[in-house]
Amino acid sequence: MKWCKNKPSLLSAVSYRVPMEVQAIRLLPGGDSYPICPRCGITLDREYMAYCDRCGQRLGWVLIDIATIVTEPSR
């Protein structure tokens, strides 16, 4: 089965149970890095969590090695 990312409304009921691949990592100035939830955008406490603590989205980690690195501007 193929997913159409342009039509999330059709998938909303089941999409929480289907892993969304984590595709971004936030790199902090101190050198720590945290994966970012693909659904709600929070930083996750650690890698390879099965579910997001905040939104409950099931997470996939297949793409973590090629994830986009996001850096926060220092404030």
- Of the candidates 39, 43, 61, 64, which one interacts with Zn ion according to CB under 5 A? 39
- Of the candidates 20, 24, 49, 55, which one interacts with Zn ion according to CB under 5 A? 55
Nearest to 22 by CA among 2, 38, 6, 40: 38
What minimum distance in Å lies between the beta carbon of 10 and Zn ion? 20
- Tokens representing 68? 């986009």
What minimum distance in Å lies between the beta carbon of 48 and Zn ion? 15
Give contact residues for Zn ion (rule: CB under 5 A).
Answer: 37, 39-40, 52, 54-55, 57
